[in-house]
Every structure is written in structure tokens, then in C-alpha cells.
Amino acid sequence: MSDPHPASEDWAATAHTLSQALPFFQRYAGATVVIKLGGHAMGSDAAMRSFARDVVLMSHVGVNPVIVHGGGPMINATLKAQGVESRFVDGKRVTDASTIEVVEMVLSGLVGKRIVQAIQAEGGQAVGISGKDARLMICEQTDPALGFVGTPVECNPGFLERLKDGKTIPVIAPIGAGRAGETFNVNGDTAAGAIAASLRADRLLLLTDVAGVKDAGGNVISEITPEAIRDLTEAGVISGGMIPKTETALSAIDGGVRAVVILDGRAPHACLLELYTQAGAGTLIRGAR
């Protein structure tokens, strides 16, 4: 039986051939695309392999992908296994000293290295880092009641630019550093938005477990303006878990990101469909620049 996964050299050669033969694949050549990875795309080995292969293809046709990942289910499982009891305030986890140690271990270690290994197995070059490395993401405490939960206030993307020059894909855990040396847990979407803004990325792709932003009739909106998002939020059409994602999108656009897409990470090849098909995938929110 033939190997369902071609050798790294074959995959790289295929990508190179596509980039030469299909000018459409060159439409994002040189573009920086930040991808927030979470949900279903991290839930199985098959989904992870598919995602990694797509990222490597993007890299081979000239895109500069930057991965920011979550890992909530893995954190929950590890906390439970270690007998660390979680407390919540208004539905938000309190990250105390014991919890932040587990969060950093899981995100920077188990989750980040799994993604790096998947990318390298498909022929790419990747490195796992966190927002603490090279002072990438400086944070302030979000709310004293939540403990070591941080909000990014400064990003220093110079290290990421050097990785780009070396054709290395960064895989970033959403852990930030405080000015006094504290370690902060940062919401993955928030971290991705802040990093994308610091890079003035061409695209921020927020992979989630829903098809995109929906209108009052439950239909996915293919493209929407920031103003329309604010109107739908005020009217209660955008609600629940979609609000943090749209808020991240608006903040990223205000920070200089060209466009944000909220899309279904469960769909096969979701990132490629968004970048390289006319119809795209999910909901596109476009900035002014």
C-alpha cells in the first residue's frame, strides 16, 4: 500500500510546481498570515496532519504563516489529573499560581511541540515559542480577581521577522510576560489579534467551531464591515462566544491588520479555501487599508 502522506521532498516539490504553474497561488506571495488554531483542528491527529500540510503548502508558495494556538481542553484535563481545583468568577477561570504553572507547561510544552512536530513531519520548518520569549508579548493583569490572566499591552515582533527571514514558521503559545517578570495566561484569540496587529498582517484567520458570523436568520455572512458588526452586536444578533471573536477582529483591524476571517476550522483545508478560492470561507471583515 502506498504511503498516504508523501515524503517531505515530494510535498515541497509539489508545492513549488503549483506556485509556478498556477499564478493564483501567488496572490499572497510575501503576505503575513496569522492563524489562531484551536477547537476541532487540534482535536485529532488526522485534523492536525491536514492543518500542518496546508500550512506547509502556504509556506512553499510564498506565504509567511504565523501560528498562535489555544489548548483549553488539554489544560482542563491536566489540571484534573493533577488534582488542581479550578475556581471561576463570572464564568471565567481564576488562574492562580498553581494553575499558571500547569497552563504554561501544557501550552508551551505539550501543545506547542505537537504542532511543531506535525508541521515538520510535512516538510516545513517550525519552532515553538511563547509570548514570553524575546519579550514578544508584554501584558498587564486583566482583573485582580482572575489572578494571572493578562491583556497584551505591547508586542515586539522583531524576533518573528527574523524567523520569517529564515523561512521558519513560529508556533506561539498565548503566554505573556509582565513587566515585573510575572507569567500571564492570555486568551488565544486576543493573543493572535495582538500579534497580528504588531506584524500588520495581511490576514488574521480565527479558526473556530462555527461556520462564521451569522445574520438574524441564521445565515453565514460572507463579508461584513466593522460598522455592521457593531450594529449586529448592539441588536443582540451577534452574541455569546462570537462576541470575543468579533471584538478581537475589530481590535486587530484597528491595529493595522488588513482583514480578519472567522471561519470553521472543522472544514477540510479551511485556510486554503479562504486564501485561494473566489468564494473564500467563513466571514471576512475588512479594514480600510
Report the percent of the chain where pLDDT is more than 90: 65
pLDDT digits (tens, 9 = 90+) for 103-126: 999 999 999 999 999 999 999 999
Does position 191 have pLDDT exceeding 80, yes or no?
yes
Report the percent of the chain where pLDDT is more than 70: 89
Nearest to 56, CA basis, from 40, 46, 67, 45: 67
Task: Count Cβ neighbours within 10 Å for each residue of 172-202 and write b for 16 or more, e otherwise.
Answer: bbbbbbbeeeebbbbbbbbbbbbbbbbbebb
Would you state the pLDDT for residue 289?
52
Higher pLDDT, 103 or 88: 103
Does position 214 have pLDDT exceeding 60, yes or no?
yes
Q: Which amino acid belongs to residue 157?
A: P
Mean pLDDT of the chain: 88
Do residues 223 and 283 touch, judged by C-beta distance below 8 A?
yes
Average pLDDT (95-102) is 92
Residue 152: beta bridge partners?
139
Half-sphere exposure of 248 (CA within 13 A, CB side): 28
Name the grid cell of 85.
481545583
Instruction: Return the H-helix or E-strand segment holding 66.
Output: strand 64-69
Sheet containing 183-185: which strands, arranged edge to edge? Answer: 150-155, 137-141, 175-178, 183-185
Distance (Å, rounded) from C-alpha 113 to C-alpha 119?
Answer: 10
- pLDDT confidence band for 1 (50 / 70 / 90): very low
Could you tell me which residues come within 8 angstroms of residue 188 by beta carbon, excluding any fewer than 6 positions away? Answer: 36, 38, 68, 69, 70, 71, 174
Would you state the pLDDT for residue 107?
94
Distance (Å, rounded) from C-alpha 122 to C-alpha 181?
Answer: 36
Would you state the pLDDT for residue 13?
55
Do residues 39 and 266 touch, judged by C-beta distance below 8 A?
yes
Do residues 22 and 62 touch, judged by C-beta distance below 8 A?
no
Average pLDDT (62-76) is 92
pLDDT digits (tens, 9 = 90+) for 13-68: 555 544 554 555 667 888 999 999 986 667 788 889 999 999 999 998 899 999 99
pLDDT digits (tens, 9 = 90+) for 273-285: 888 887 778 999 9
Name the grid cell of 189.
484569540
Would you state the pLDDT for residue 246?
95
The CA-based diameter of the chain, rounded to the nearest angstrom, is 58
Neighbours of 224 (CB within 10 A): 21
